[in-house]
Structure 1
């Protein structure tokens, strides 16, 4: 069986064309498209290379923006031996071998740039294993991650490496890359202007993905040029990048929340659609939308929370995709509702006050006295039944004795809270009057 397999392998022609992404791989740093914020003359890497003081690095960014390529070119420009490993496939024995070979190489007068792809996949203890070899100069570490290093890499490693953020490619960068691909292929893409732009958008900022799409399009036999509709019919659009447990999840829910808070219904419903299209659980969104209602709208529009709960219930009854419209409706309502965080601020202030006052008991006059002993020691004494008082308001103290009355709830002059502020001012004046009469 193994002989047959070897024969089959040998039968594969050596002239098989290399993938376009490999053929267009930059040969020097100046060939890299985009990432000027990292590679420019005044940017971190530009300054390091100019001064000859390259340090260990962590590249943080989405797939297809050049993390591996830049690391390899850094090794070329600094005459370091380039070693690439993946945290997914590398264990402790392999790491030991890499470090031993790097020490031997260093003894022969040459340094090693160790590129670790998906470095966040190593646990904290494994990350600690790099530290002594970084400190004694055995390796210059360049890690690559799509996850937030602040959460995924330990503090000791981060203190020895500079984090550089690589960004998704802009449309202008992708167009530049497409032109390079056409030069390499020797043919122009058979696309009209709008279809060409649609192709660039399908890449979603990922240069490698764009080159793979271009290879497919260039292989088609067509008469004339394809429009956007024809392109879409022939080429399935790539799924949007969305990690439901990673940074993208938190970034998008933050964008949705802040769009609602900022009273921008168009942006809010856009981010909702982005999350749903990425496969987010609609029930999670229903929960977070309801939280937005109580945090950022509160009593300025008491109907906001009811709208969210009704949308949540509607989704539970209809499911996807029909029920998602109810969530969109709730988001639009929240974005256009009057905003107030007064209840949110009042609650946080009350929590702090509760911690500060510890176990201070309620004043005795508002305590029930179901036994004779409790009555004898003052429970319920002099309690004023508010319904019997003028205006239905006694003005008694309900805070622990000896604690100065705080003002926790401060309604805003927006929405329904305007009415609540009138009521608050009304009761405050009555309380002052009752106090003056009592004295």
Structure 2
């Protein structure tokens, strides 16, 4: 009879450790995809070589190795590793950790406090780290998937170095797949195309790839090699990483805008699709297209606003997925339209001048005079009705009395605005001519 071991189950053998746990790197050299930080000449690599770690924030997508790197850093620098999850911890947990770290500090042992999802701590909780980081009681290593400049307060950021971890590329994911095969002693039951599809489905997440590999290795031996369709039946495709209220959202909408502004319809369609596949509300996209039509296309093609509004209306009538085609059509139209920010910039300049000039009144000649008193005061006197002139243009000055004419709208030579510019130049010449004639009469 086997002796009783409290670490073992009462019946049967010890449960097999998950593949992800068995493949966890045992040294920094085994970490894949982060050589820009961990290499001998890289920032963290140099700190490890000196055995002098600074407090840091590891910012990167899920499954890129943040927790593993922190654990290995503590091991290489002989620091006590104290893990904490901001999701499940509060002030009481922090106080307990800080007390224990202070006791170790007095005995000459350092502590690495690893805080997973550190952005979930509120501002006051983040402030509680400051004195312990400053006096060296703890070396803080925070892990976050969110932009630290948005989620962490300035005082904490000023005491930490921020390192950006990359999503794992194809080569790194292939390395992990090969390690999974070596650990199990047999190749993954996949054809070449399916193997490529597997790494694409992982979307840069090493942990996800290993978990999928474990599922595939658990298939019956007579399953045979799976093609892409067979792979899709066996494992579920992960949803794309996308948070509609966080940095990923703003990054992708920026990509949509920049692609349309850069007249690249293919890239614009790709980023639009990324947002829609991530669960973005198509009506949000429709509203942004209306903004783009007025801000970036403007009068270079006045149809742009019509197209954007039509796409919005079409989606409201059809819903998904049919209405999304109207939004895609508007994206392509806007991306291929000539661009002009003349109206956008002109309005900005005019509003600044409006704030500066205060309450200047319009010239009396362009004011309506519905009462006799107003007529007696000169309201409307000398007003010229432009359509009645030979050129349909009177050349009158519509700026306030005491304010010189200023130019805010400067049309480009793009699209329809080229014609608008020629028309404005013609009117400017007529205005100058009539001004000269008026001076001669005086």
TM-score bracket for this pair, using the shorter chain length = over 0.9
1:431 maps to 431
Q: Distance in 2 between matches of 1:378 and 1:72?
A: 84
SS at match of 2:370: coil
Q: Deviation of residue 371 (structure 1)?
A: 3.6
1:3 maps to none
1:313 maps to 313
Deviation per CA, 1:26-58: give whole Å up to 9, x if none. Answer: 111111001122112232212222334321101
2:389 maps to 389
Matches within 5 A, 1:2-401: 11=10, 13=12, 15-221=14-220, 222-401=222-401
Q: Distance in 2 between matches of 1:47 and 1:434?
A: 75
Q: Distance in 2 between matches of 1:14 and 1:438?
A: 106
Structure 1 residue runs of 5 or longer lacking an equivalent are 1-6
Q: Distance in 2 between matches of 1:244 and 1:174?
A: 27
Q: Distance in 2 between matches of 1:12 and 1:417?
A: 82
Q: Deviation of residue 127 (structure 1)?
A: 0.7
Deviation per CA, 1:141-166: give whole Å up to 9, x if none. Answer: 11111111111110100000011111
Segment of structure 1 superposing worse, 344-353 or 383-392: 383-392
Q: Deviation of residue 369 (structure 1)?
A: 2.9
SS at match of 2:243: coil
Given the two structures, how large is their TM-score scaled by the length of structure 1?
A: 0.95
Q: 1:171 to 1:298 in 2, by over 3 A?
A: same
Query: Is contact 2:52–2:77 with CA below 8 Å preserved after alignment?
Result: no
Q: 1:50 to 1:359 in 2, by over 3 A?
A: farther
Q: Distance in 1 between matches of 2:385 and 2:186?
A: 90
Segment of structure 1 superposing worse, 42-51 or 265-274: 42-51
Q: Deviation of residue 274 (structure 1)?
A: 1.0
Q: Deviation of residue 12 (structure 1)?
A: 6.5
Q: Deviation of residue 294 (structure 1)?
A: 1.1
Q: Deviation of residue 227 (structure 1)?
A: 1.2
Q: Distance in 2 between matches of 1:373 and 1:73?
A: 88
Q: Deviation of residue 286 (structure 1)?
A: 0.5
SS at match of 1:359: coil
Q: Distance in 2 between matches of 1:12 and 1:409?
A: 83
Segment of structure 1 superposing worse, 159-168 or 333-342: 333-342
Given the two structures, how large is their TM-score scaled by the length of structure 2?
A: 0.94
Q: Deviation of residue 11 (structure 1)?
A: 4.7
Q: What RMSD in Å do the two structures reach over aligned CA positions?
A: 1.6
Deviation per CA, 1:149-192: give whole Å up to 9, x if none. Answer: 11111010000001111110001110011111111111101111
